[in-house]
Amino acid sequence: MKIIVAIKQVPERDAQVRIDAAGKGIDETDLQWALNESDAYALEEALRLKEANGGEVIVLSAGPERVGSTIREALAKGADRAIHIDVEDLAQRDVFNVAQLLAAAIKPESPDLVLTGLQSDDLGYGQTGVILAELLGLPHASLILHVEKSASGLTVKRELEEGWFQTIDLPTPALLTIQSGGNKLRYATLMGIKKAKTKEQRRIPAADLGVAAAQSVTLDRIALPHKQKSTQLLPGSAKEAAAALVEKLKFEARVL
C-alpha cells in the first residue's frame, strides 16, 4: 500500500505565542515548532499499516524552510521519503488554496491511501483533508481512530459525538482524517534519526505546482479573546491561595 501522510508544522504546545505587528498573524521570532498532534497519529497509523501490509509511506508538508525539521522527524520515525512544498506565502492562501497545493503534489504519486490529521492545533480549520478528498476525487471518512485493510478496500472506525462510534467500509484509493488517541505514538530511535539523513526529501516550489495564492476567505485580524467571565484570581503562595479558594467556594459560591 502506497500511503501519503500530509503533515503540518505548528507552534509547540507550550510556546509563548505573540501576535505580530500587523495583527493578522503570530510573530514567528524565536517560536518553537512541532509536528501537529493529530498528524502524528496519522503518521503512526500509516507506519502501522505499512508494517502490517507492506508498501511505502511518504510524508508531505507545505511551508517555508523551517518545515524541514518536522519532515526529518517524520522520516526518523519511519517514513520512507518526503515531499516538501516550498511555500513562503501561506498567510495569503486559504485552506482551499493550500489543499489545491497538496492535491497537485499528490496526484502524480497515485497513492492508495492519503492520511491527514483531523485538524491543526494552530488554525484549527479541520478541513484540509476533506477538501483534499474532494479535489482528488477520493472517497473519504473523517475522525478515524483505527484503519484495517479489507478485501474490498478499508474498514475504519470513526468517532461520533458523546462516546459513540461507527465503522465505515470504503474502497481504495481513499482519504482518511485521523483523530488523536487511536494508537500509541512511537518515538524516533537513534537508528531512525541516522537513517533519516539518507532518505529522499524532494522540494517542490509552490510556483511549480501551478496554484497561485488566492483566498475567498480572509483572516482580517487576530486578537486575545474576550473574557466570558471575570475570573477572581487568588494570589499568594500555594497554601494561601488554596485556603482562600476553600473560603470562596464555601461562603461566596456556596458550592461546598
Partner 1 sequence: MSGVWVVLEEHDGRIGRISWEALAAGHALGAQLGLPVSAIVPGANTDATAAEAATKAVDKVVRIEHPLLAVYTSDAFTLALEQFLRSVTPEYIVFPHTYQVRDYAPALAARFSRVLIGDVTALAAGPVFQRQLLQGRLVGDYRASGPGPHFLSVQSGAFRADQLPSASATIEVFTPQIEPEQMRTKPSAPFRASAQTVDLSSAPLIVSVGRGIKEADNLPLVQELAAALGAELAASRPICDNGWLPIERQIGSSGQTVAPKLYLAVGISGAIQHLVGIKGSQCIVAINKDPDAPIFEVADYGIVGDLFDVVPALTAALKAAQS
Q: Within positions 68 to 127, which residues make up the interface with partner 1, using CB under 8 A?
A: 94-96, 99, 121-127
Residues 6+ apart with CB under 8 A from 198: none
- Span interacting with partner 1, options 45-53, 67-75, 109-117, 163-171, rule CB under 8 A: 163-171
Q: How far is the CB of 31 from partner 1 (least distance, A)?
A: 12
Alpha-carbon distance 52 to 59, whole Å?
18
Q: Which is nearer to partner 1, 200 or 240 (CB)?
A: 240
Which H helix or E strand runs over 102?
helix 95-106
Within 177-196, the residues that bind partner 1 by CB under 8 A are 180-181, 184
The amino acid at residue 29 is T
Place of cell 458523546: 162
Size of the site for partner 1 (CB under 8 A): 77
- Span interacting with partner 1, options 74-82, 108-116, 130-138, 191-199, rule CB under 8 A: 130-138
242 binds partner 1 (CB under 8 A): yes
Alpha-carbon distance 172 to 97, whole Å?
25
The amino acid at residue 157 is K
Nine-digit cell string for 171: 474502497
30 binds partner 1 (CB under 8 A): no
Place of cell 494552530: 122
Out of 29, 54, 190, 229, which residue is the one contacting partner 1 (CB under 8 A)? 229
Q: Which is nearer to partner 1, 12 or 80 (CB)?
A: 12
